[in-house]
Each structure stands twice: as structure tokens, then as C-alpha cells.
Amino acid sequence: MHYSLIFSLLVSSLIISQSNAQVQDIDGNLYNTVQIGKQTWMEKNLQVSHFRNGDPIPYISNWEEWLDAGMKKKAAWCYFKNDPKLGETYGKLYNWYAVVDPRGIAPEGWHVSSSKDWSELIELLGGSEKSSSQLKSIQLWNPSEYCNTSICNGNNYSGMNIKPSGGRYHEAGVEYYYHLGDVAEFWIPEKSPDIWDGKSLTIWRSSAPKINDNYKDIGFAVRCVEDEIVVALNE
């Protein structure tokens, strides 16, 4: 075994711990968790269809209605190609307005992953280049001539099991669902300098994770992180 791989495995074993702990959202969906350093992450993409207070997040399959929700800065979710079967594997796709809604889409005690959360995770896993394969699932990623092997699957050492969930996109007013099998995109509940854009974390099949700006009405996946517990010390 190559020394760098041995080192990577040793580091991973020190900072990553799988557990039987689960978290449940308001709809009753259960998520396995993985602890990486001081962070505890959901092991799969969000599936919830209600806000934390019980209000429904609108399910919008029609493209014109989806665009209208974006123009009105209203939350929405869908399945990739409106196929619930794909939703079982890849989770739901949400627009940016869903993840920043003050009613909250993460379970109590959790939050939608921030740029700080992602940056800390990537650093813990050895930086951008090394973290990519550790984050990705061991299957479902399409082949690419740019990958080091014939396929672009990861080794999932992190336990994050990130799958290439694609997205719901548009260009020149035309809708298309894109790159299932090629890319994982996750909303970050932060604004971009451009008023039309929000932040997202992107992992292509053959490139390192990167934080980008994207139109707020695109449909992306969501990952959640447990809130840090701050213990107040008595003086």
C-alpha cells in the first residue's frame, strides 16, 4: 500500500467516527450521522417537505410556477425530473429561498451547512484535492476521461456518501435538469455580492470541491450539520 494512502487512512480514522446516532426531521425522515472532527453531519441529503414549524414547503413541478416562485422570493422544492424514485436516492432539490427561510428546514438543533462548515470539513480531510474522493460515494458517479481511473467514484472514507444529485437549472428561460451522475451541488444559506445569486458548494466528478455563486431559483440538494453546543462556564 502506498505510504500516502496509509497516512490518509490513519488521519481519517482519527477524525472520523461513524455512529448509530440518527436525527429525525419534522416529516419523520431519519438520517444517519457521521462525526468528522468536531462536526456532526447528516449522511444523506435532506428529504423534508415542511418547515420546522409545520408549514409546508411548496412542491412545484411546473417550470413556469418554479420560476415565478423564484421571482417572488418564495421557497420551493422538487424531485429531479419530478421523479420520486430519484428522490429516494438523491434527496429533494430546493431553491435558495427555502434554505434561508426563517422558519427553518433543518431539524431542531441542526442547520443548513454554511461555507464555514464546508471549508472546515474540506480542511480536515486534507484540503480540496484530497477531500474530493473521501467525500464522494463509491458508486453512481459517471466515467470521465479526466479522472485518474476509468470511473470517478470516490472511496467515501469520510462517511459523507455524497452522490451526484445534479440540479434543476435554466438558461435563456428554458428549463433543464442537468448532470445527474456528474455533479453534486449543495445550497449554502449565504448571499453572493450579486443580488441574484446565492452561495453553493460544488463537487464535479473529476474536480475538487469549490464554493460558487448560483442563481437563487436553481434547484440544488441540501446537507445539514448539527449546531455546536456552547457551554457557559460559571465565573
- For 87, the grid coordinates are 428522490
Look at the block and give the residue holding cell 436516492: 89
Phi, psi of 110, deg, nearest 5: -130, 165
Say what the pTM is. 0.90
What are the pLDDT tens digits along the chain (235 aa)?
Answer: 454 444 455 545 556 776 668 999 999 999 999 999 999 999 999 999 999 999 999 999 999 999 999 999 999 999 999 999 999 999 999 999 999 999 999 999 999 999 999 999 999 999 998 999 999 999 999 998 777 666 899 999 999 999 999 999 988 778 889 899 999 999 999 999 888 899 999 999 988 999 999 999 999 999 999 998 754 445 4
Domain boundaries, the chain: 21-226
- Rounded CA-CA distance 210/199 in Å is 10
DSSP track, 40-78: EEESS-----B-TTSPBPPB--SHHHHHHHHHTT---EE
Confidence at residue 230, expressed as pLDDT on a 0 to 100 scale: 56
- For 39, the grid coordinates are 462536526
- Rounded CA-CA distance 217/215 in Å is 6
- For 30, the grid coordinates are 431519519
Contact 69, 77 (CB under 8 A): no
Confidence at residue 172, expressed as pLDDT on a 0 to 100 scale: 75
Confidence at residue 7, expressed as pLDDT on a 0 to 100 scale: 43
- Element at 153 (helix H, strand E): none
